[in-house]
Structure 1
Amino acid sequence: MRLELFDLIDDSVKLLELNNPSYQYVEGAIKGCFEHLLEDYMDYVVGFSSRIKSIGSLKEKMIRNKYYLQFSTGEEVLNFLPDLIGLTVECRFISDENRIYQAIRHHFSFVEDQEYAQCMLYPDLCLNLAMPQPQLQRNGFTIYRIDGYYLFNGRKVNFELQIKSMVHSFWSEIEHQVVYKNTQYVMFDSFMKDILASIRDNLDVVDHQLEIVYTQILNQNKDKDIGMSERGFKMFMAKSISDLYAIKMIESIGFTTDFKKCSAVLSQYIYIKDFVQSDQPQQKMVEYFEHFNLLKISDLDFTEPITLEKEFIHYDPFCDVLGRYWQSIINIDFEWHVFFVMLFAIQPGNNIQDFTMFVEVLKSLIVNRFWYEKKFTALDNVSAQTIRDDLLRCVAEAMVEVGKVEIIHEDRLLQIMELFHEEIDRLDEMLESLEEYQLQRKDILTHLKHKICALFY
């Protein structure tokens, strides 16, 4: 005599086989619905896969979840079974999972007094969007898993929607085939959990790396003139400068420091100086490529003092203040010394010319000349220029007060530029005469200098 639970299992299996044609139709309908709903997101979606619960899987789930204690008929079992049909939306990367989930939510609206949200395009399609996502699994990892049902001939057919990146899909197969189907691992439960968690963490890293590669490939494909674009030129220059710096620092003093942001500044400087104004940018890139190869086999000594051919003097107040400061500490502050060693190495002219050009280009990154010359034009020319020069000098003095090489990093220059523009726009509206400015001069300059210095502390 058999246990009663097997009678329930047999009844459920027979009903599953009997309704299989209907389930196949619903499976295709659900898949078609989501393919249409996500047609604008096919750049992120790799594919759709679906399945109807197999007989073996149904038996295993009924025993594992003790359905025989909850239900008395096969119909009750199949009506309750949340993953009678399974649909998986596979996307490229982990970061895409939430993007796909939010896109799906956008097509559903909640019906009053009902737990499930109804699809606005396909009213027979419903999802339980009240479930928190992503769901926490028994293995401790998360997954986007949503219960749903499809109305077919007036009856609800349950399905489970999963959203998985390629890495998560791969991991699911690993767990299913290697872990859950191999009972021998149970005796090593604690040890195996640690190993599997480590593997999973590594897969997350792989996902991130693949996403970077994929994004880079997309960007390159969009650039018809790869290597000759602004972005391509800057990346080439920054990497070349950074690599050269690392090699020569090791050779010269035996260790190296982080020079990536300074490399980016130098690449931006070279781009403005040589790329923008050149009629043959391709030729310029080839020349720099040859120059860097030559520098790699040349001596570059960071322990030797830098010599400028003459004292730095500039008509512009910003350039004069900053340039004089750099000349005074160029062989004292090692960070600045290293920066200018690299600048002079990659520029073929004499040092004072390169030094002057760099200060002028730096100013242009903070202050747009055409924009600035239109400020304070309500005043006479002499008064307006006096105020403009005074404020520029204040910006340079604030940067000198900070003193760190960080003041020329691109992100910091952008912050200084935005702050300066805000303050100038405010003062332009406020000031009506040079006398009014002179009365408030001390407070205005103190305020401006304080705000710039505050960016660095």
Structure 2
Amino acid sequence: MKLQLFSYIDQVIEYKESLRFELEEAQKAIDDLFTSIFSSRDWFVNYSSRIKEDDSLKEKIIRQDYFRRYREPQAMFHQLSDIIGSRIECRFINDEEVAYQALFKHFPYPNNGGFYRSDRDPRIELRLGDDQPKQQKNGFSSYRIDGRFLGRTVLNFELQIKSIVNVFWNEIDHKILYKNYNYVVTEAFVRQIMASIKGDLELIDRQLQMVYEHLTSLDQAGSWSPNQQLESFIGRTIQDIYVMPLRESSNLFFDFRASTDLLTEFLFTRVKYESKEGMASEFIRILEEASRAKLDEVRFGYTLDFDPPIDYHSDITREMGDLINKAVNENLAWNFMVAILFDLNPDQKQREIFRTFVDYIYFRIIHCVRSTFEEEGASPADHEGIIDEISMFYIRYSMVYPDAIYFTLEGLEDFKKVLRHMIDVWLTQGDSEAVFQVFTEAYASQEIEGRLGEVEDLQAHQEKGGRDHGHND
């Protein structure tokens, strides 16, 4: 004699078949409604639906032990929340929230049980009072909204909202784990692997969204060169791959925007004046290195010590290198910036990339001062001494309380405004003290008190030490 369970399952399936017309009517009405609402939205990708198959229905009755919970097959059938399943697919994870919020506009009329009626088809209702997204058994969250169709028979349906990557994730999770009943000794390990895959997919989603936003903004970015657009894209990638995960995992919050700007400007400086192909190749290289990054492998939070010391090109770059090295060992933003720099250049020795980075900052500053002298009609060759003094003074000033903003294009543009006045004083008075007084008056009111005094102490110390050391070319 067969188990009563199997007879129960057969009765449920027979009842479902008796409602075939009602189910198809409900499915068509639901399809028409959501397609008409969302198909014209820019974030919309696809819509799909299905009536629950017999095999899936059998599996769910057994897995949920419905036979013991609902003695009447018809009562059990009407408890199923997803006898009809519909899914709105959107581009990105962020679009899921956009799609969910749009539902409130089209289901404005409240009914009992937390349901809201459609303004286009009063037979269709959604329960919009629940918290969304809902937590799933696999530990992740998903937008799953209960609905019902008020036809000759009340039929339940479930509306899912999923991005492209979450559609893919749902498929692999459902096939590999959700309906895999084989005994797996290492199930916890498999779960960890799946969680890692989910994290990688979310990263891909963010990168795809950045690509989309970049492409859609090209027409509006007339004042931006292609190179600036690539740098901006890499900057956002660094924020998403390195900075945001650090904030989430370590609860460390610091302003990394200037550091990101300086880092991306440096990464592209070697190819900025080459061909477009060279710029594109470097862009792809950086993107590939960043996509392989693992935050726990980035050497953040460790002191930076080179043994033997780096052999810099001159005393002035040695001093600057020491100041930056000190900042790396004391300042979170500088420490993280250099850690990312090393991570994005794994094939280059760290001491070499660090020295190149120091040289880059120094020559950026010296070029800023020299070019401003030229713009003011003064030959740099005739003013080498004061140019070196101004450059080193600015470096020392910037590194007392180190902030990467002073070395970015934006920071140097601000410096040039003061520098023009300094040069004017030099050309008319020839007095270096008066020149630095201009700097003091311009910066003292907006900077941390005591910075300029520390610069003067450091300058005096370095000048004393400089008498004991020769040039190291």
- Give the TM-score normalised by the residue count of structure 2: 0.55
| 8 Å CA contact 2:128, 2:145 repeated in 1 | yes
* 1:227-273 per-position Cα deviation (integer Å, ceiling 9, x unaligned): x8524243468999xxxxxxxxxxxxxxxxx9752377899xx9xxx
Per the TM alignment, residue 186 of structure 1 is displaced from its structure 2 partner at its CA by 3.1
1:324 corresponds in structure 2 to: none
| Secondary structure class of the residue paired with 2:108 | strand
Q: Hey, what's the Cα distance between the residues in 1 that align with 2:361 and 2:108?
A: 62
Structure 1: gaps of 5 or more residues: 241-257, 271-285, 294-300, 307-328, 361-395, 418-444
RMSD: 4.6
1:334-345 pair list within 5 angstroms: 334=321, 338=359, 341-343=362-364
Q: Which amino acid aligns with 2:213?
A: T
1:406 corresponds in structure 2 to: 404
1:84 corresponds in structure 2 to: 83
| 8 Å CA contact 1:11, 1:73 repeated in 2 | no
1:324-343 pair list within 5 angstroms: 333-334=320-321, 338=359, 341-343=362-364
Q: Hey, what's the Cα distance between the residues in 1 that align with 2:138 and 2:120?
A: 36
Evaluate the alpha carbon distance shift between residue 62 and residue 402 of structure 1 in structure 2; reply closer, same or farther with a 3 A threshold. same
| 8 Å CA contact 2:231, 2:265 repeated in 1 | no
Q: Hey, what's the Cα distance between the residues in 2 that align with 1:130 and 1:177?
A: 31
Evaluate the alpha carbon distance shift between residue 289 and residue 109 of structure 1 in structure 2; reply closer, same or farther with a 3 A threshold. same
Q: Hey, what's the Cα distance between the residues in 2 that align with 1:356 and 1:147?
A: 70
1:129 corresponds in structure 2 to: 128
Q: Which amino acid aligns with 2:170?
A: S
Asked whether 1:53 is paired with 2:52, we answer: yes
Q: Hey, what's the Cα distance between the residues in 1 that align with 2:311 and 2:68?
A: 79
Per the TM alignment, residue 30 of structure 1 is displaced from its structure 2 partner at its CA by 0.6
Q: Which amino acid aligns with 2:160?
A: Q
Q: Which amino acid aligns with 2:165?
A: V
| 8 Å CA contact 1:146, 1:161 repeated in 2 | yes
Evaluate the alpha carbon distance shift between residue 101 and residue 358 of structure 1 in structure 2; reply closer, same or farther with a 3 A threshold. farther
Q: Which amino acid aligns with 1:195?
A: I
Evaluate the alpha carbon distance shift between residue 201 and residue 25 of structure 1 in structure 2; reply closer, same or farther with a 3 A threshold. same
| 8 Å CA contact 2:398, 2:406 repeated in 1 | no
Asked whether 1:69 is paired with 2:68, we answer: yes
Evaluate the alpha carbon distance shift between residue 56 and residue 264 of structure 1 in structure 2; reply closer, same or farther with a 3 A threshold. closer
- Give the TM-score normalised by the residue count of structure 1: 0.57
Per the TM alignment, residue 39 of structure 1 is displaced from its structure 2 partner at its CA by 3.8
1:16 corresponds in structure 2 to: 16
Q: Hey, what's the Cα distance between the residues in 1 that align with 2:109 and 2:375?
A: 61
1:26 corresponds in structure 2 to: 26
Evaluate the alpha carbon distance shift between residue 28 and residue 356 of structure 1 in structure 2; reply closer, same or farther with a 3 A threshold. farther
Evaluate the alpha carbon distance shift between residue 339 and residue 357 of structure 1 in structure 2; reply closer, same or farther with a 3 A threshold. farther
1:347-386 pair list within 5 angstroms: 353-356=370-373
Q: Hey, what's the Cα distance between the residues in 1 that align with 2:80 and 2:272?
A: 69
| Secondary structure class of the residue paired with 1:127 | strand
Per the TM alignment, residue 105 of structure 1 is displaced from its structure 2 partner at its CA by 2.4
Per the TM alignment, residue 185 of structure 1 is displaced from its structure 2 partner at its CA by 4.8
User: Which one of 194, 209, 217 corresponds to residue 219 of structure 1?
Assistant: 217
2:6 corresponds in structure 1 to: 6
Evaluate the alpha carbon distance shift between residue 95 and residue 355 of structure 1 in structure 2; reply closer, same or farther with a 3 A threshold. same
Per the TM alignment, residue 91 of structure 1 is displaced from its structure 2 partner at its CA by 1.3
Evaluate the alpha carbon distance shift between residue 359 and residue 40 of structure 1 in structure 2; reply closer, same or farther with a 3 A threshold. farther
Per the TM alignment, residue 150 of structure 1 is displaced from its structure 2 partner at its CA by 1.4
| 8 Å CA contact 2:91, 2:163 repeated in 1 | yes
| 8 Å CA contact 1:239, 1:263 repeated in 2 | no
| 8 Å CA contact 2:13, 2:54 repeated in 1 | yes
1:230 corresponds in structure 2 to: 224
Q: Hey, what's the Cα distance between the residues in 2 that align with 1:33 and 1:96?
A: 19
Q: Hey, what's the Cα distance between the residues in 1 that align with 2:72 and 2:168?
A: 36
Q: Hey, what's the Cα distance between the residues in 1 that align with 2:362 and 2:11?
A: 83
| Structure of greater Rg | 1
| 8 Å CA contact 1:261, 1:409 repeated in 2 | no
Q: Hey, what's the Cα distance between the residues in 2 that align with 1:259 and 1:13?
A: 63
Q: Hey, what's the Cα distance between the residues in 1 that align with 2:26 and 2:131?
A: 26
| 8 Å CA contact 1:52, 1:86 repeated in 2 | yes
Evaluate the alpha carbon distance shift between residue 140 and residue 238 of structure 1 in structure 2; reply closer, same or farther with a 3 A threshold. closer
Per the TM alignment, residue 452 of structure 1 is displaced from its structure 2 partner at its CA by 5.1
2:37 corresponds in structure 1 to: 37
Q: Which amino acid aligns with 1:97?
A: E
Per the TM alignment, residue 176 of structure 1 is displaced from its structure 2 partner at its CA by 2.4
Evaluate the alpha carbon distance shift between residue 177 and residue 232 of structure 1 in structure 2; reply closer, same or farther with a 3 A threshold. same
Evaluate the alpha carbon distance shift between residue 411 and residue 80 of structure 1 in structure 2; reply closer, same or farther with a 3 A threshold. farther
User: Which one of 173, 176, 179 corresponds to residue 175 of structure 1?
Assistant: 173
* 1:148-175 per-position Cα deviation (integer Å, ceiling 9, x unaligned): 101113x321100111111111122112
Q: Hey, what's the Cα distance between the residues in 1 that align with 2:166 and 2:188?
A: 22
Q: Which amino acid aligns with 1:7?
A: S
Q: Hey, what's the Cα distance between the residues in 1 that align with 2:24 and 2:190?
A: 38
Q: Which amino acid aligns with 1:232?
A: P
Per the TM alignment, residue 147 of structure 1 is displaced from its structure 2 partner at its CA by 0.6
| 8 Å CA contact 2:361, 2:407 repeated in 1 | no
* 1:342-394 per-position Cα deviation (integer Å, ceiling 9, x unaligned): 3378x6xxx8540447999xxxxxxxxxxxxxxxxxxxxxxxxxxxxxxxxxx
